[in-house]
Amino acid sequence: MGRKKKVTLTKNRVIHFVWTFLLMITCIYYMGLNYVPQKWYETQTMMPKQVESYYINQWCTSDFGRKEAVLWDMTRVDCLAKDYVVEFDFAKKWAESVGQAMYYAKMTGKKPAVVLILTSPTDYRFVKRIERLESGIKVFLVKAY
């Protein structure tokens, strides 16, 4: 009688382990789908834990565009390139960077672009939010983690 109870207990543990494992795999798969962007974006890897101006200086070189360009209404574009107005921001402030890029594009007649500075792998969720806007904003990524 004691041996049958031990076998049943072992079977219950195995079933519990399998269900837990399947649930964990499902959660990881679902979370992965939420963080993976729809498109491939131009990505550069740079030194982590820097201020925003560091990334602007590294990315917006003199042959690409003009840094901190002042518009007629005294607003400052992070990088004014030939075809794009580029706004830099950390991924958590994605909405602010999108709004600024769209405003600067309207003021200059150029296309809007944002450079999102990713400080952790979970920051890809903010890229997904920009994708959902379908606003025609060019997205560049700086991987700083």
70 pLDDT above the threshold of 70 = yes
Sheet of strand 111-118, all strands in order from the earlier edge strand to the far edge: 42-45, 138-143, 111-118, 84-90, 76-81, 65-70
Which one is predicted more confidently, 1 or 82?
Answer: 82
* Predicted TM-score of the model (pTM): 0.73
pLDDT digits over 79-120, tens only? 999 999 999 999 999 999 999 999 999 999 999 999 999 999
Quote the Cα angle for 121-141-144, to 5°: 50
Strand partners, 138: 113
| CA-closest candidate to residue 108, choices 61, 141, 142, 66 | 66
pLDDT digits over 57-68, tens only? 998 888 888 999
